[in-house]
């Protein structure tokens, strides 16, 4: 019976729930059955909370029957496994936190519960969100539903793959340098990175605190607006949360794009861009012209420094944030160590994976005496220049359009031993995190092999309504987002 419901979006499921054509328990059972049938191959979930999800679904049915439904009542969702869920394992895909059960909910988790959502479980990721392929998880790789031998992207690969494979209606991810948008592109779903400060980070396990932002991965742009509406807003528990009112995101969906000025940065269309990706993105830009938008060539001259700046700032912040994982207070501890120094050394070297250790070492070096000015301070200054590039461009256009990644998804194992090549796969997404601006990835084509290609739209700070307007107009007149992987 679930077969006819598995492709539903949030807004379609809401309609069926309110018309009593389906119950929240039936919907949740359907997804749990699909997870049981398919996730052995895909490995999207690290924890499935069947008992908890069904209890939430029963409560949702009561609320629906009483006419007291919230905006997401009965909607089954998945959550990236670095967002705290009270009483439900939160591992960050790390051996170190394998048995960690948070005593509290993250603010976004709390908001989802208040909105009536059903939390199916926690999904796979690169360990501590450090990676672009979900191959750095301590608990095994997630596979791309479009092609099982390919990566789903990262670090929110489990979230993107679960949405693409209809193992949930939508999911939350986090984005430090493209970790929502890049896997969304590789899995053919919509991924929205909100403005830094738009969504609370309280209860998000920190990787790089000045870059991290939580956001939705969904099947279409309408669902992105609905999920963003539920999680956005000021939170006094997060000192970086913006004390600004939250607009009505759904209202932005049906605006016209006639006259919308879209900037196309020349730096994003050069060497290293796969021809199939460029062709799909150029075709999407031509489609916008047919919709009445105006394309302008613009320049973001400091883009070439973005990868270097990002991997100095992010690793420096990671070095500081991950110092707490020392085997003393909580988490895994080496049971064989007899001396304190040996315990620290063994716990961190055995409890943390290769990529996490690499980034901690890079960051510690960048912050060390004698190198701070040469590396971290200089990177922070160039970050300001990157932000100013965007400020200048947004004086002439409302949206910037670029590819999401230089290539479509690559084969599992293809780049895992070449960190530099792997880092370059984030080249088009990193700048938005450095500048703190919002970005969205939406499906705009497929390679000859049938792998999805994404278009990235960027907007000024807190201009999510503009992004949603532009993205929704594209989806209303194209069908890329309606295609489903051949599972």
* CATH number, position 124: 3.90.1300.10
Q: Decide if 202 is inside a domain.
A: yes
Does the annotation mark 80 as catalytic?
Answer: yes
Q: Decide if 44 is inside a domain.
A: yes
Q: Decide if 181 is inside a domain.
A: yes
Q: Decide if 108 is inside a domain.
A: yes
Mean pLDDT of 249-254: 96
Name the CA radius of gyration of the chain, rounded. Answer: 21
How far is Cα 487 from Cα 471, in angstroms, rounded to an integer? 27
Per-residue model confidence as pLDDT tens digits over 301-341? 999 999 999 999 999 999 999 999 988 988 899 888 889 99
Domain that holds residue 218: 2-254
Q: Decide if 379 is inside a domain.
A: no
Number of domains in the chain: 1
Q: Decide if 33 is inside a domain.
A: yes
Q: Which of 80, 122, 193, 415 is catalytic?
A: 80
- Confidence bin at 1 (pLDDT 50/70/90): very low
- Asked if residues 236 and 216 have their Cβ atoms less than 8 Å apart, the reply is no
Q: Decide if 433 is inside a domain.
A: no
Q: Which of 23, 94, 137, 155 is catalytic?
A: 155
Mean pLDDT, the chain, rounded, equals 96
Q: Which of 179, 319, 431, 441 is catalytic?
A: 179
DSSP string of 363-420, one letter each residue:
HHHHHSTTTTIIIIIHHHHHHHHHHHHHHHHTTT-SEEEEESSSSS--BTTSSTT-HH
- Does the pLDDT of residue 2 top 70, yes or no? no
Does the annotation mark 174 as catalytic?
Answer: no
Q: Decide if 123 is inside a domain.
A: yes
Per-residue model confidence as pLDDT tens digits over 276-308? 999 999 999 999 999 999 999 999 999 999 999
């Amino acid at each position: 019976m679930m077969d006819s419901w598995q492709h539903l979006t949030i807004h379609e499921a809401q309609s069926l729930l309110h018309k009593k054509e389906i119950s929240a328990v039936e919907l949740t059972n359907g997804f749990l059955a699909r997870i049981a049938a398919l996730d052995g191959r895909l490995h999207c979930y690290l924890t499935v909370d069947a008992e908890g999800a069904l209890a939430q679904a029963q409560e949702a049915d009561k609320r629906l029957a009483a006419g007291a439904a919230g905006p997401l009542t009965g909607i089954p969702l998945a959550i990236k496994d670095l967002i705290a869920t009270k009483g439900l394992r939160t591992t960050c895909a790390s051996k170190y936190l394998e048995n960690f059960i948070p005593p509290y909910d993250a603010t976004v988790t709390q908001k989802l519960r208040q909105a009536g959502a059903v939390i199916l479980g926690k999904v796979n990721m690169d360990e501590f969100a450090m990676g672009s392929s979900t191959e750095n998880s301590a608990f095994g790789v997630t596979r791309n539903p479009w092609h099982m031998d390919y990566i789903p992207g990262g670090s929110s690969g489990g979230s993107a793959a679960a949405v693409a494979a209809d193992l949930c209606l939508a999911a939350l991810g986090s984005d430090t340098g493209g970790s929502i948008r890049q896997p969304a592109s590789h899995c053919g779903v919509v991924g929205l990175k909100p403005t830094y400060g738009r969504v609370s980070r309280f209860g998000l396990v920190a990787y790089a605190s000045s870059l991290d932002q939580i956001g939705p991965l969904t099947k279409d742009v309408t669902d992105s607006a609905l999920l963003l509406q539920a999680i956005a807003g000021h939170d006094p528990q997060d000192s970086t949360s913006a004390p600004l009112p939250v607009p009505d995101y759904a209202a932005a969906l049906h605006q016209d794009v006639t006259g919308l000025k879209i900037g196309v940065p020349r730096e994003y269309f050069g060497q290293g861009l796969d021809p199939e990706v460029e062709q799909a993105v150029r075709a999407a830009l031509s489609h916008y012209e047919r919709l009445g938008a105006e394309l302008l060539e613009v320049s973001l001259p400091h883009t070439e420094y973005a990868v270097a700046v990002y991997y100095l700032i992010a690793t420096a912040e990671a070095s500081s944030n991950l110092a707490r994982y020392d085997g003393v207070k909580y988490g895994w501890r080496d049971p064989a160590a007899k001396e304190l120094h040996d315990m620290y050394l063994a716990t961190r070297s055995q409890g943390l994976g290769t990529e996490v250790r690499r980034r901690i070492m890079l960051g510690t070096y960048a912050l060390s005496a004698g190198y701070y000015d040469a590396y971290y301070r200089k990177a922070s200054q160039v970050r300001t220049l990157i932000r100013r590039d965007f400020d200048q461009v947004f004086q002439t256009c409302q949206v910037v359009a670029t590819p999401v990644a230089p290539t479509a998804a690559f084969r599992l194992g293809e780049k895992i031993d070449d960190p530099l090549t792997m880092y370059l796969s984030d080249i088009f997404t990193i700048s938005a995190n450095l500048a703190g601006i919002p970005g969205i990835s939406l499906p705009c084509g497929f390679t000859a092999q049938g792998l999805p290609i994404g278009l990235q739209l960027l907007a000024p700070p807190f201009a999510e309504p503009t992004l949603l307007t532009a993205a929704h107009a594209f989806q209303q007149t194209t069908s890329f987002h309606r295609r489903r992987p051949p599972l």
